[in-house]
Structure 1
Amino acid sequence: MWAISREEADKRGAIYETTKFPVKVMVWLGVCSEGLSVPVIFEDGSMDAQRYIDEVLPIVLECGNEMLGEHWTYQQDGARPHIHYLSQKWCIDHFPSFISKDRWPPNSPDLCPFD
């Protein structure tokens, strides 16, 4: 049975329509003592290291330099695109300072308040 709303479904026996594959949106946002970065919104596809390098890291660098000047450190979590060797190399080559995946403690509640 199909119904327009949960209320209508309840009247007909509590069967209601659901979306089989809901829309997914991925958002990247940087946070620092000086504010928030420009959000990067991905409405399609999945994130891999190359997409992260091409679409996120240049914005991170630009926002970091604008907000913090020349002396700042970039830190990221342990997501697969972040720890990929190409992403790590890009970060080492471009950021003024960078905390590599080997120095980042996993699941640290005091260093990862958003988790």
Structure 2
Amino acid sequence: MSRKDVAGLREQVEKLERRTRRRATPPVAVPISTFAPRPFEPRRPIGVVIGPCRGGFTASFLDANLSTSGETEAEALDNLKDLLLMAYEDFEQSDDSALGPAMLKQKSVLFDVIQRKP
């Protein structure tokens, strides 16, 4: 086996080790306690789950069945905050009669945990 072959095998092993370490990272629960500087606030800490995924991380608010991703945990969390507020604002404008059961539940959950600042 040549040095070039050994170097190629070493590189493949290192790639596999990096992937394994990334996948071995367990999901973590993180509370959202602010939407600053936006004019919204949580009524109570909002529990979300952040975990690794291909090429980055996902952040999920399971109660409302909403999820986003980002290259870092912080980016995934920021993207989820944006998604929660966009959904909240859309629901403020929506007519409940046009929403199905799943969307009504999602609206109810979001209105239960988020409010506009007074």
The structure that is helix-richer by fraction is 2
Same fold, TM-score > 0.5, yes or no: no
TM-score (norm 2): 0.28
